[in-house]
Structure 1
Amino acid sequence: MAIADLDLPEQKKAKYQATWERQLVREVCPRHILKGLSGELVARRFDRDEALLKLSDGRLAEVHLTWARGEEPDPAWSATSLFDTLEEWASQSMMEHHREWIT
């Protein structure tokens, strides 16, 4: 679901976004593909701890957060897939997730 579409007051929506964005920064280790990049939460899959973030370099990252209290030691976590455009993400990831959801 797009964060913009959440049925929350704007202040709560902003707090929700900030929580996910801080958690991403908390989890990534120095060898993680997202280290040094910031991201803005744009969508969330509510049946899993997955988020879609627009990165500071313009790409999109689909990230599965672990909600660790600190840095993950393994750069494979938080699991991340990168996409150059929203269309690329939709065709390469969203459609498959949608098929899983409806079956």
Structure 2
Amino acid sequence: MFYAVIARDRPHGQEQRNALRSPHFDYLNGLGRKVVFAGALFGDDGRMDGSLMVVEAESLDDAKALAAGDPFAVQGLYASWEVKRWTFAVDNATGRTG
């Protein structure tokens, strides 16, 4: 199953985000195909202020564990995050359908 991870940075977290980018990407890349896609969210000011990723996991608990292991979460960058079951409806990049 697929799960969306929606995370919002704590206020003024840009410096911490920048410092943790390398471990964050190492972690995500280490998960291999469990990470379907991932990227930053941006605020109205054009600065990164959160993350969105879709992961494939056996259960909601497994997806939450993947999200909780992210250095951004471990090091307290995220003010909040949630994990929701998600499904493809339209995927023009790969042609996958739900």
TM-score, structure 1 normalization: 0.29
Q: Comparing both structures, which one devotes a greater share of its residues to strand?
A: 2
Higher RCO (CA-CA < 8 Å; seq separation 6+): 2
